[in-house]
Amino acid sequence: MSSEISELIKLVQKLPEERISEVSDMVKKIIEDNKSSEEKTPDCPHCGASNHLVVKFGKNGDKQRYRCNSCRRYFGEATKTVVESSQFGEAVWKQVIRDTLNGVSLDTTAENLRITHATSFHMRHKILAALETAESLEPTVISGVCEVDDTYVLESVKGTKIPDDYHRRPRKHGAKASKRGISDEQISIMADVGRDGQVYTKTANRATPRKEDITDIFSGHISKGTLVLCDGAKSFNVLSDVAELSNVKNEKGTFYNINSVNGFHSFVKTRHNHTYRGVATKYLNRYNSLFSIAYACNTEECTERIYNILIDNTGNFRKSINDVKNRDILDLGQLVN
């Protein structure tokens, strides 16, 4: 351990002065995460026996190994979880979660944690894919009073070379759409924000969502009898079939304010356009799941909540590299020229 500390000190001494404080905070956080991890004894992921029937049983490398006295099987802290096949521990995963929440670039994450760019990418998208899966397994259901609305972001094929026959020409970050107003270059993001802070958001389609899109997205996510508030767009009337739409106007005949959902959309656009400098459209629903969590709590609360999802062995969240790249991605299809 002393040689590792000496090596770390040498590395820190080579850093620019403005980076030393940042790295120091990161090291403190990693030490704290490791301490908290060492204090936990997990339940058995095989038979579900509580942790008082579980004993420590040596180590596999630097990772703690356990044995269940009920089913007599062995396991590690990450068995049957997203992080099962990872060589990294809780501290590194939590730092990747923090960097994801804060929009730190993949290259910066890779540099700070001394991992490759590809590893940084796969870890980040394992996290995002697990969040999307968790939402599908335990859907957010909003009741009482909620606000619904849509917003739009530009289609992005970030990270992919545009083919010659694509329906539009390539554009640089920050460029505007070639068509005015809402067009097929815009991707719709629908959001449902409850007055109690719950959020559900999902990408619907290109341009203005159809009634079928609205029904498909919100069905099962708004409980019966909920008062649904919107901006008065007629397409939202279809929600009366989903949630018994009570009224979109107040007793004075004017529309209710929908500041909550508008605030969430501002948050999404800031994260999308500035924090992450664009999100590839095929991964947009993964980020939508992240935005729904990040909007309601601070970084540390989100980090703990997301990490608990990653180590939940009841949700079958394990993701291979192939899953991360190709499974459950958003496919809106190629437009015809």
pLDDT digits (tens, 9 = 90+) for 199-208: 999 998 888 8
Nearest residue to 142 (alpha-carbon basis) of 216, 224, 214: 224
* Same domain flag for 292 and 166: yes
68 within a domain of the structure (yes/no) = yes
Distances (CA, A) of 72 to 49, 65, 144, 193, 217: 11, 13, 47, 46, 45
220 within a domain of the structure (yes/no) = yes
* Same domain flag for 159 and 285: yes
Query: Looking at the DSSP assignment, which residues form a beta bridge with residue 213?
Result: none
Nearest residue to 294 (alpha-carbon basis) of 315, 271, 317, 313: 271
Structure tokens that stand for 231 in this block:
């901006």
321 within a domain of the structure (yes/no) = no
* Same domain flag for 236 and 293: yes
Q: Strand, helix or coil at 180? A: coil
CA dihedral 59, 35, 25, 93 (to 10 degrees): 50
- Of residues 243 and 231, which shows the higher confidence score? 231
Range of the domain at 236: 142-298
251 within a domain of the structure (yes/no) = yes
* Same domain flag for 280 and 170: yes
* Same domain flag for 210 and 174: yes
Pairing of strands 227-229, 145-154: parallel
Neighbours of 129 (CB within 10 A): 23
pLDDT digits (tens, 9 = 90+) for 52-97: 888 888 887 777 889 999 999 988 777 878 887 788 888 899 999 9
Distances (CA, A) of 269 to 39, 159, 196, 250, 272: 40, 20, 22, 29, 5
327 within a domain of the structure (yes/no) = no
pLDDT at 1 exceeding the cut of 60: no
Domain count, the chain: 3
306 within a domain of the structure (yes/no) = no
* Same domain flag for 159 and 276: yes
Q: Which helix (H) or strand (E) holds 84?
A: none
Average pLDDT over residues 98-117: 92
82 within a domain of the structure (yes/no) = no
* Same domain flag for 9 and 72: no
Q: Strand, helix or coil at 288? A: helix
pLDDT digits (tens, 9 = 90+) for 275-300: 888 888 889 999 999 999 998 788 89
90 within a domain of the structure (yes/no) = no
**Percent composition of the chain: helix, strand, coil (DSSP 3-state, to 5):** 45, 15, 40
* Same domain flag for 288 and 203: yes
Predicted confidence at residue 31, as pLDDT, reads 63
* Same domain flag for 146 and 53: no
Average pLDDT over residues 231-241: 77
* Same domain flag for 60 and 188: no
pLDDT at 322 exceeding the cut of 90: no
The reply to whether the predicted model has a pTM over 0.95 is no
* Same domain flag for 19 and 157: no
- Of residues 327 and 309, which shows the higher confidence score? 309
Structure tokens that stand for 54 in this block:
């579980």
How high is the mean pLDDT of the chain?
A: 81
pLDDT at 28 exceeding the cut of 80: no
* Same domain flag for 71 and 151: no
- Of residues 110 and 197, which shows the higher confidence score? 110
